[in-house]
Every structure is written in structure tokens, then in C-alpha cells.
Structure 1
Amino acid sequence: MPFLPLRLQPGVDLRRALEAALANQPCEAGFVVSGIGSLGQARLRLAGATDVLELDGALEILTLAGSVAVNGSHLHASLADAQGRVLGGHLGYGCRVRTTAEVLLALLPDWHFSREPDAATGHDELTLHRCQAPAG
């Protein structure tokens, strides 16, 4: 399994940068192995909520995990504010790197991830597809 270490610069949208990094690789699926750094803006959807919580100010990324795909990622983060309070949830678009973000992606070249409706949950859920090996 190949790995892709990333260091993201200030102002970059964290989620978009991860999806773009994957799109530049010869694969369509990956997982965040580790992620730390800081954000100046964050957009989190908390458990069971439909609205997005918008946070501004210095935030530390304590954890970052999830699947990254060319057609739909699912990322979770836990963030600490300047007083040490921690919030976590689904990471949305619009999370801007403050000073740096250091992320390690595991690339899965034999897999394709998609999001498809799941009758049991009522949500679009991860569907795993193993890519066919080339004949030869």
C-alpha cells in the first residue's frame, strides 16, 4: 500500500486539498491515516445534525480520519479551540488551514469508492469496488 505524505499551506481548504491530492494520483480511493495541524476556519456537521457549525479562530486539528475518493469523501475531525475545548464531527468544505496541516494518506490503487443510497441508513454510504486487474 503506497502512502502520500502532505503538508498543506495556510489558506488552503483542507477537504478540497485532500481530494485534489488524490485526484493527482493513479488511484481513486484512499484513507487518511493521520492528520494534525491548525485551522483558522472550520465547518463541522455534528452527530445527528443537519446544519453545519461554523467556527472561526485558532483551532488545533487533534485528529483527522476518513475515506477520500474522487467522487465523495467522508472525513471526521476533532478540533480544539484556544481554551482547549474539543468539538468533533463531519469535516465540511471551507475548513481553512491556519499555519499548516500535515496529513498522511494511504492510497488504495486497487479500489474505487463511491457513495450510494443505503436503504438501512437512509443516507448515501460508502460502496467499495475492487478494480479489475489488467489481463496479461
Structure 2
Amino acid sequence: MRVVPLRLMPGDDLRLALESWMGAQQEQAGCLISAIGSLSVAQLRLAGASQATVIHGDLEILSLAGTLSIDGSHLHIAIADSRGTLIGGHLCSGSLLRTTAELVVGLLPEWQFSRELDPATGYAELQITRRPPEIAASKPRH
């Protein structure tokens, strides 16, 4: 595993910035190890919902977990508002950083993650493939 620290800036769309960064990596599989920061807008798809819920305010990122691939990600976030009320769900695009996001990402060179529609769930679900050793050992892009 290659571990990479990453800092995102105010105004960045958290999901889109992570997906864009992942697309620039040689590795085709990643996971979030650690994430903290703050949002001014959070767009979350809550459990069982088909549409995102939009939350505005001073929001602290308490946790962000998930998998990253070059063709999509699956991210869950827990946030707290200024009163300490906690809410969490699927992180959707449109979630904007207020001050920063400090992330530690694990990149997995020997694996490839992709997303394919699963007829049983109706969602694009994670597909896991082992990469050939010669590809996994190639040098990272800069």
C-alpha cells in the first residue's frame, strides 16, 4: 500500500476533488484511512433515500470512509452541525469545503476497483480485480 496525505482547500467539492485526484494516480484502487475538516454545504443521500438532502451551515467532518476507483467512489460521511447534532450518509457531489479537508489515502497498486451495475441492488457496486504484478509494480504518475 502506498499512503498519501492530501489537503483540500476551501470551496473544493469534497467528492469531486477526491475523484479527480484518484483519476490522476497510477493505482486503480484506493481507500480512505483518515479524514477530518469542515463543510459549508453537505449533500448526503440518507439510507433508503433516492435524492440527496442538502444541509447548510458550519459542519465538522467527523469521519469519511470508503473506496476510490478511477470510475467512481463509494463514500460515507458523518458530520456534526454547530450544536453537535450528528448526521451521516452517502457523500454526494456538491458538498463544499468550508476551511479544509485533511485526508490520508491508501492506494492499493495490486488491486483494481471498478463499479458495475448489480441487478440485485440496482446500484453500481464494487468489483475487485487483482492486477498483474508487472502493472502493479510500475512507477506512480506525478
Which category of TM-score, normalised to the shorter sequence, fits these structures? over 0.9
Q: What is the RMSD computed on CA atoms of the aligned residues?
A: 1.3
Residue 123 of structure 2 is aligned to residue 120 of structure 1:
no
In structure 2, what is the Cα distance between the partners aligned to 1:14 and 1:82? 20
Which residue of structure 2 lines up, in the alignment, with residue 82 of structure 1?
A: 82
Which residue of structure 2 lines up, in the alignment, with residue 47 of structure 1?
A: 47
Matched to 2:108, the amino acid is L
Displacement of 1:121 in angstroms is: 2.4
TM-score with structure 2 setting the length: 0.90
Deviation per CA, 1:9-52: give whole Å up to 9, x if none.
10001111111222222111100011110001110000010010
Matched to 2:57, the amino acid is G
Residue correspondences, number = 135
Give % identity: 51
TM-score with structure 1 setting the length: 0.94
Deviation per CA, 1:83-110: give whole Å up to 9, x if none.
1111100000011110010011000112
Q: Secondary structure at the match of 2:84?
A: coil
Q: Which runs of 5+ in 2 are unaligned?
A: 136-142
Q: Which runs of 5+ in 1 are unaligned?
A: none
In structure 2, what is the Cα distance between the partners aligned to 1:21 and 1:58? 25
Which residue of structure 2 lines up, in the alignment, with residue 32 of structure 1?
A: 32
